[in-house]
Structure formats: structure tokens, C-alpha cells
Structure 1
Amino acid sequence: MELMSESEVVKIEMRDIEQPANNVNKVVVSEWYGCIRGNQITQLSERNRQIEKVPPLLLKGPNGQRNREYYEPAVVSLGPYHHGRDNLAAAEKYKLVTLDEFRLSSGRHSMVSLYNKVLEVVHDARKCYIDGSTDKYNDEEFNRMMLRDGCFVLFFIECLANWDKMLFLNNEYLGAMGFANITRDIFLLENQIPFVVLQVLLDLRFRDKGEEILNKFFNYLNYGEITKNKEKVLDDKKQPLHLLELYRSYFISLSCSGLGSINSSKWKIWRKKNDVVVDEDWHYVKRNRSFASVTELKAKGIFVRSNDDNSNKDIKFYSGCCYGELELVFRAVYSNSKAIYLNMIAYEMCPHNPNDFRVSTYIRVMKSLVIHHEDVRELRHSNILLHSLGRDEEVVKMYDEIDAPAVNLYMFNQLREGIEKHCSNKYKKWAAELINVYFSSPWKTVALLVATAILFTSFLQTYFTIRPLPDDSNGDLLKLLRRCVHSKPPSAPA
């Protein structure tokens, strides 16, 4: 090996790529920073957004190992990632049945016309999956997969949204347990159909009523009943990547064009605009620390109440002169809720996807509020939570087993700061103790009034014993006072 002498000059040629890369990176950083700070993002940079797989780091640790099954389909595979698994073979036969039912319900459309319509977007759909995951399927095979899977999803959504009796066709081919897991499977991150395919089938089947069907279905997931709200589900300017992304935007009350944005007026901002950003803004532990649970907040004079305005799904906190109110939106929790929450969080953890981590933040708030079964009971009595998990302890266990690795610290910190500011006020703390100790029930209130009456009459007796009233100088009024003074005070209830 020949060594260079000290007199030799070494030149390293570097291409001039710093400026273009720097510009691109600044745009990307600006988008993420805007999302985290809750700013409205009007134009996202061009990026290759794909249907990602679950980040491997979410599968590590005790909860990750325990929750691994919630990321894999139990009944039906949708898309190429889990296609061909032996335990999902029964659903492949049932897809042919739903395909035929979807064609019949579409009226004038033949199977060939359905196939050709999906074929028009098959190349766009293929780009939505990770590179290499669709290579073993030619265009015809991939198109048939998209057609069968898309019709399966929309047939199930339509039957459930309209409570059609054809819904029980699922029991015939998949059994009752299979039917119970379909909702879970169609919201798995790795089990998504590109929405460009679903949009084509929606237009063919429902024309201008596709949004109404999705609205009813999402309301069923959120509130446990099939209702129709006036909220807009679809956005004409930007199409969601898949159904899970669309439901997430509906869950957090955001339109598809505004993914990653937040209306800051819905979250109580406690700092003044002219305040200097303190070091705590970048102190992860301080900003991410938990606050008190529901029952602990109640003891400190903060009561939870349901948000009656379903168009506003944010968590809000109001601090009054004597008590505070934590406003939460009503949610239904059932057997599939854990899987849906985990996969929405997994979607938020994926790269190339600027978002504000609002589902993760919501779960983080609920993990702080729900510690004991008494907390779940308070939420039930306040008409904030409805669950079908049997015992309240199961709800506590569900939230405890869901990890939220990254949350929006700005949103979470605003809520926590407002609560801590209220709890640190000694006058509000005294008012809370007075309410909880003496006015928490009608019997305690009555006992307090009786005790006050006893104390008052005892004071009058002592006072007039020391300073007796003049003899008949004031007529009937003095006689009445003298009678009250010498009468025995009523006994307190046992």
C-alpha cells in the first residue's frame, strides 16, 4: 500500500446539492412544525405517501408484544400485505358473494363495468402500497383483488349503516365471531384499500349519497348508534389515502384537506400572546407529566361534563370562580375500540405523514383521567362514556394497555397547565373542599343547615344570658324573641 507524502494535495469533489436539499428539508420541517403547533396547513409538499406497515418499535416492550394481535387481521385480508393466509381463506370465498350482491344492488352495472371502472385507477392504487409488495400480482390479478376487497368493505358498511337484513349474511359464511371482527379488520393499518378504489365504487353504487353512508357508519363507531350528523366526511379538494385516515379525520373532527390542523380556539390557551416561551416548552418530562384522574379532579372542584355539541370533538377546560369544568365528547367503547385506537396511533407514528398526533393525545388524556373503576363510573354517570366491556375495570385495563409514544405536547400541555393553575389556587381549593365535604349530597346539606341553626340559637342564648332583654319595653316583638331564646334547640338527625 503506497502512502501519500505530506506535500501532496488531496482534492475532494463535492456536488452542489446543499441548497436544493436544504430548501426541501425546510419545507418538510415547516410542515411538521406547523402541525405540532396547531397551525392550518393549506398546502402539503409533494411526498410519496403510502399505506405503511406498523412501525416495528410499536411491537416492542410488554404492551407491544401483548398488542401484536391487534395489528393483524382475524377474519379477512384486504390488500396484498396479508393476502393468501390460510386462516383467512373462508373470507376469500365470501368476498365472491359480496361482490355479486354489490353488483346486484348497483342496478344497471354489470360485473365487466365494475371491473373496468376499477381498472382505470389500478395503477394509482398500486402506487399506494410499499414498493415490492405488489410485484407478484399482474394488473389483472391486482385489479380483481381491489374489486373484491373494495366491494366487500362497502357492502358491509352499507348493511351496517342502513341496518339492512343482508347484514346477517356475514353470520352464514363467517359465523357470529367472524361477523364481530369485520369492523376491527377493515380499520387495521396493514389491511387498507386505497381510497381511490373505494371512491370509484362509492360513486357507482351511491352516486351522491356515499358520504351519507360513511357518516352513519362513523357515527355508529363513535357513539354506538346509527345517526346522521351534519358533519362533512369527504373533501372535494383532497382525497384521503385510505379508510383509516378518513375515519381518523372524522374522529378528531378534521376535514381531509386539513389533516394535521387544529382550531386553537377549541383548546384553552393560558399563556398570553406576549409571554416569552419558557424552557418548559422544550422540557419533555415536565410537559408530558400526567394530571389528576376524574375522581381526584372532582375532589379538587373540577367536574367533568359531556359536550352536547357533536360538531366540536375537542377537550376543553373552563375555570370558574368556585369550580372548574372539564368538557369531554361522548364516546362509545366496545370490543373493537382497542384495535381501532391502536391502529390510528400506528398511522400517526408512520413516516412521511405530517399530523398533529391528536388521537395519541386523546388517548394520553384518557390514560390520565381513567385510573380506577370509579373514574369510569363517573364518566358513565356524566354521559361521557358508554361501554359494553362488562365491568368498568376492563375499560381501565384497555386504556392502560394502549401506549401513546408521541403526543402533541403543545395541546396536552395547554390542558394540563389550565388544570394545574386551577388546582393551585388556594381559594378555589377551599371552595372545592366546602362543596365536597358539606354539599356533596342533600343529607349533608340538611345536616349543615341544622348544625348552623343550632350554633346560631346557642349564640343567641349565650348573648341574651349575658345581656338580658328589657322587661316588656318593646311589646310583642320582645316577647317573641324571649320565647325563641328560652326554647330548646332542635336535635340533629342521627
Structure 2
Amino acid sequence: MKSESEDVRIEMRGNVPPANNVNNAVVQEWEGCMRGNEITQRSERRRQIGKVPPLLLKGEKGLKNREYYQPAVVSLGPYHHNRHDLSAAENYKLITLEEYRLSCGNSSMVSLYNKVFEVVHDARKFYIDGSTDEYSDEHFNRMMVHDGCFVLFFIDCIATQNMKLLLNNEYLGAFGFAKVARDIFLLENQIPFVVLQVLLDLRFQDRGERILNAFFNYLNYGEIGKREEKVFGNKQPLHLLELYRSYFISLSCSFGPGTINSSIWRRWSKKIDVDADEDWNYVKRNRSFASVTELKAKGIFVNCTYVVSSNEDIKFHSHSCYGELELVRRAVYPNSKAIYLNMIAYEMCPHNPNDLRVSTYIRVMKSLVIHHEDVKELRNNNILIHSLGRDEEVVKMYDEIDAPAVNLYMFNQLRLGIEKHCNNKYKTWAAELINVYFSSPWKTVALLVATAILFTSFLQTYFTIRPLPDDTGEDIIKLLRRCVRSKPPSPTG
């Protein structure tokens, strides 16, 4: 991971020399992530469901955001198990367990427990050493079954718009129901996906891809959309948070640490030429660019891109007289801040090579959204929809989210492209002309009227200084009379 406080330079080399020791292999793995190349997970690397890095909990923002890493309604997995303030959800899990079993057709409760027990030893390995020692295999298996069925029952009800979702109100209250989607995406509240996959296979023939796609659409766009995307790749995700992170950043869903569609990355990176002698000092490579309204004044307009075949979530195009920044439409709602923070915490965990795409996206949004006018502009362009009430609340949310490290290559390519456009005087002058005088029909009419008045005033002044000869007026009158008296030509010729 490249910290923003380090003075480094990212070079995107085409070929990486083979590793000759363990450290070189680690560096190669991280470098592959930052370059956007698909990498193969090393067999000796052990992936674990980590806890929130302590450094994220320090500082002013870290202290304010502590609550967003802690479950508010339900505990999932061993890290927050048996918390007294979450006991109401433990009773409700028995209800969701029975409901999910009934939805699996002929599956008995015993067969459901036995199926999960087949992967219980693998599931233990995904948690931090010592965190599951106090639980026997039977107790741990029961925890996995209850928690897994709770999560999948909630997802299934949202995706299929099942009215049994109102059971949440009965047992958790309306406020508790609103917090469930938040709790199932907390980093420390994750269940190994091997457990969820067993339960999904008992219920669905497509491994649950349809309901997961619909549920992720609901989280991303605020509705059960029709956007059909492949949720699963060739490799098993670590947990639900990792799976949703891949969906959120519009990757090609090829799992493993830090995978990305390398052809898309290379095609995008070639759009902008970067001087090889660019001074990548701390200030230059980490400075933010202008906000949405400031970019608009410079002739850079934001547009919503919603192309099913496209996996790029941020694109910038510099045209002859204007620039275009394309962003994927996102929904922002009360749970968004917690989900963003936990995806960032996942990216910040040690021993977890990844491309820092969510952190980079948040850094971009923090640059774009400074004032409520920026949010209004994004809303008007259908890029951002929110249910936070006032636009100022959206600005506050992004301001309170800290992205301590970003993908410097991706962020700088975007920043440099925008700065290159803004530094072109011809393009900025053309943008100023359009924004000031042609931004509305009334301004255009006013410009034409003002031009006509200025032109007639010029003529009047000119002929006052240099009047026409006396006989010129008579000649003009004779010419007009002749034109009036002349007959139009016959239509037949």
C-alpha cells in the first residue's frame, strides 16, 4: 500500500522481472495491483477477515467515525458475538433460520446444519487466530448457520420485494430494520463466503447470482434495477463486503486480491500523456482538483454514464472546446457512510494487496463535492441521488470520510488530464464565452441585442464624423422608388 505521505514514484512498466525472493514476490504482487494487471494469488498467502486497522480509529475523524465500524443491530461472526445490546437480533435469527429453511424446499434443519458443517473448518481459518478458540465446532457451526440465514433472508426479501421483510419491524423495530443493511457490510461483521455459498446453493440454482445482482443494484442505485451484471468470477470472494466492493467499483468481477480488467486499464491510461520527467513530489501528486461548479466554469461538464457493457466508473475526455467528466450514477442514503468507511477499511488492511479503487473514488468525490451547488449539479445530471434531506448533508458526509491512501497512478492520471485541459487558454476562453453569454436563451438574446445596439451606435458615430454627400440621400430615395415600382418577373418566365 502506498501512503499519501510517502514520496514515491509509480512507474507502469510493461514487464516485471521474476521474483527471486519472498520480498520481491510481495512487491511484485502489490505493483501488479497498482498497475491494474490481473494477478494470481500466491498459494502461501493466507487471506483473513481482518479487523479495522487501529490507525483509522485515531485522529479527529477516526474518533468521530468509530461507531460506523461497530454493529448497531446484529452481530455476525465471532468478533462481536454475545454482545448484550444486540440480543434482540439473536432471537430474530431463529425466525429467519426457519423462514430460509422453508424456502429451500425439502431441506430439513438437520441437513442444513450438516451442509454447513462440511465447510466449518475452512470457515474458521478465515478469522484472526485465537478469535474462535472459545467456540466448539458445534457452537461455531450453529453461529455460521444462524448468521448466514439471517443475511440471505434479508437479501432475498429485498431482491424479490417479499413482504416478509416486515418481520424486521416486528422483531427489531423500524429503526433497527433500517440498520440491517449497514451491519451486514461492516468489516468486522463478515461471514466467510464459503458458508454463504453453501446456503445459496441449497436455495438457488444460479448460486444466488440473480438476487445478489438485484440487491447490489438496490444499494448502488436506490432501486431494484434491471442492470444485469456478472456477480461471481472465477475465484471465490472472501466475504460479502469484498463481493460488493467489486460490484461497486464496476470491476469485471474476477476475484483474487487486487484484480482488474487490465485491457480497460491500459486503454484508459493511454488517453493521457504523462511527462516522464514529471516531478511526483508530495504536493503535486496529492493535490485535489477543482469542484464540479469550478470545473463547469472552466468548460468541463459532468455527465452520467450508464452503459452496461462498460466497466469504467470514471472517465475524462478533453474535446476541442470543452471537457467531459463521466461518472457512474450512485445512490447516497443514511447507510452509505458506514459502507464506504468499511470498504476503505478493507482496502487498508495489511497483507491484502488491492488497487485502492474505492479509496480513490472517495478522494475524487471529495474533490468534486465542496459546496451544496456541486451536489445540485450532480443531481441535475442524474449522477447522484440521495435521501439525506439537504444537499449540505451530502457535502458533510464526504468531508467526514477519510481516504488516507489512494491509487496514485489512477488519481494522478485523472488529475493531470483535468489540469492539462484547464491550462489550455483557448479551451478555457471558449468555455467562459459559452458560460457567460450562451448558457441560456435569454443571455443569447441579450448578447445579440447588445451587439446590434453597439453596431448601430458605431454607425451613428461614424456617419456623424464622416457624413454622406448631400446628393447621396436623393440617390438612395430614387433607388427605393424604382424598386417599389418594378414588377416581379412572371412565374412562367
Given the two structures, how large is their TM-score scaled by the length of structure 1? Answer: 0.88
Describe the shift of the 1:253–1:91 C-alpha distance in structure 2 as closer, same or farther (beyond 3 A).
same
SS in 2 for 1:468: coil
**Residues 157-196 of structure 1 mapped to structure 2, 5 A cutoff:** 157-196=155-194
CA contact (8 A) 2:182 2:339 kept: yes
Cα distance in 1 between the residues matched to 2:313 and 2:19: 37
CA contact (8 A) 1:332 1:385 kept: yes
Q: Which runs of 5+ in 1 are unaligned?
A: 1-19, 482-494
CA contact (8 A) 2:187 2:342 kept: yes
CA contact (8 A) 1:266 1:316 kept: no
Aligned residue identity for 2:118: E
CA drift of 1:288 comes to: 1.0
Does 1:284 find its partner at 2:285? no
- How many residues of Structure 1 are paired with residues of Structure 2 in the alignment? 458
CA drift of 1:477 comes to: 6.3
Cα distance in 1 between the residues matched to 2:276 and 2:119: 49
Aligned residue identity for 1:290: S
Cα distance in 1 between the residues matched to 2:458 and 2:53: 73
Aligned to 1:115: 113
SS in 1 for 2:77: coil
CA drift of 1:261 comes to: 2.2
Aligned to 1:101: 99
SS in 2 for 1:198: helix
SS in 2 for 1:65: helix
Q: RMSD across aligned C-alpha pairs, in angstroms?
A: 2.1
Aligned residue identity for 1:458: S
CA drift of 1:464 comes to: 4.8
Q: Deviations over 1:242-297 (max 9, x none)?
A: 0000000111122133643253256454554xx7633534x233111101111111
Q: Deviations over 1:357-408 (max 9, x none)?
A: 0000000000001111111111111111100001111101100000000000
Does 1:468 find its partner at 2:468? yes
SS in 1 for 2:81: coil
Task: Indicate the larger mover: 388-397 or 464-473.
Answer: 464-473
Describe the shift of the 1:480–1:289 C-alpha distance in structure 2 as closer, same or farther (beyond 3 A).
farther
SS in 1 for 2:324: strand
CA contact (8 A) 1:55 1:349 kept: yes
SS in 1 for 2:44: coil
Does 1:296 find its partner at 2:297? no
CA drift of 1:44 comes to: 4.4
Does 1:399 find its partner at 2:403? no
CA drift of 1:460 comes to: 3.4
Aligned residue identity for 1:456: F
CA drift of 1:39 comes to: 2.2
Does 1:69 find its partner at 2:67? yes
Aligned residue identity for 2:373: E
CA drift of 1:461 comes to: 3.5
What percentage of residue pairs aligned between the two structures are identical? 76
Cα distance in 1 between the residues matched to 2:312 and 2:99: 36
Task: Indicate the larger mover: 409-418 or 303-312.
Answer: 303-312
Describe the shift of the 1:88–1:476 C-alpha distance in structure 2 as closer, same or farther (beyond 3 A).
farther
SS in 1 for 2:34: helix
CA contact (8 A) 1:215 1:228 kept: no
Find the partner of 2:235 among 238, 241, 251.
238
Describe the shift of the 1:202–1:128 C-alpha distance in structure 2 as closer, same or farther (beyond 3 A).
same
Aligned to 2:384: 385
Cα distance in 1 between the residues matched to 2:482 and 2:219: 68
CA contact (8 A) 2:49 2:188 kept: yes
CA contact (8 A) 1:244 1:344 kept: yes
Aligned to 2:6: none
Aligned to 1:212: 210
Does 1:142 find its partner at 2:140? yes
CA contact (8 A) 1:269 1:414 kept: no
Aligned to 1:322: 321
Q: Which runs of 5+ in 2 are unaligned?
A: 1-17, 484-493
SS in 2 for 1:171: helix
CA contact (8 A) 2:272 2:417 kept: no
CA drift of 1:138 comes to: 0.8
CA contact (8 A) 2:197 2:207 kept: no
Describe the shift of the 1:33–1:480 C-alpha distance in structure 2 as closer, same or farther (beyond 3 A).
farther
Task: Indicate the larger mover: 35-44 or 283-292.
Answer: 35-44
Cα distance in 1 between the residues matched to 2:200 and 2:375: 39
Cα distance in 2 between the residues matched to 1:316 and 1:429: 20
**Residues 412-423 of structure 1 mapped to structure 2, 5 A cutoff:** 412-423=411-422
CA drift of 1:417 comes to: 0.4
Aligned residue identity for 2:223: E
Given the two structures, how large is their TM-score scaled by the length of structure 2? Answer: 0.89
Of the two structures, which has the highest relative contact order with CA contacts closer than 8 Å and spacing of 6 or more?
2
CA contact (8 A) 2:360 2:406 kept: yes
Cα distance in 2 between the residues matched to 1:171 and 1:266: 49
Cα distance in 2 between the residues matched to 1:231 and 1:389: 28
Find the partner of 1:152 among 145, 150, 155.
150
Cα distance in 2 between the residues matched to 1:257 and 1:400: 31
Aligned to 1:343: 342
Aligned to 1:247: 244
Find the partner of 1:229 among 227, 230, 239.
227
Describe the shift of the 1:95–1:433 C-alpha distance in structure 2 as closer, same or farther (beyond 3 A).
same
Cα distance in 2 between the residues matched to 1:328 and 1:417: 17
Aligned residue identity for 1:404: A
Aligned to 2:127: 129
Cα distance in 2 between the residues matched to 1:187 and 1:260: 21
Aligned residue identity for 2:158: L
CA contact (8 A) 2:254 2:260 kept: no
CA drift of 1:474 comes to: 6.9
CA drift of 1:441 comes to: 2.1
SS in 2 for 1:208: coil
Q: Deviations over 1:177-202 (max 9, x none)?
A: 11000000000000000000000100
SS in 1 for 2:206: helix
Aligned to 1:50: 48
CA drift of 1:229 comes to: 1.7
Q: Deviations over 1:135-185 (max 9, x none)?
A: 001111100100000000000000011110000001000000110000000
Describe the shift of the 1:28–1:480 C-alpha distance in structure 2 as closer, same or farther (beyond 3 A).
farther
Describe the shift of the 1:188–1:105 C-alpha distance in structure 2 as closer, same or farther (beyond 3 A).
same
Describe the shift of the 1:414–1:479 C-alpha distance in structure 2 as closer, same or farther (beyond 3 A).
farther
Aligned residue identity for 1:297: L
CA drift of 1:468 comes to: 2.6
SS in 2 for 1:304: strand
CA contact (8 A) 2:371 2:395 kept: yes
CA drift of 1:443 comes to: 1.6
SS in 2 for 1:280: coil
Cα distance in 1 between the residues matched to 2:389 and 2:193: 35
Cα distance in 1 between the residues matched to 2:379 and 2:366: 16
Cα distance in 2 between the residues matched to 1:396 and 1:419: 22
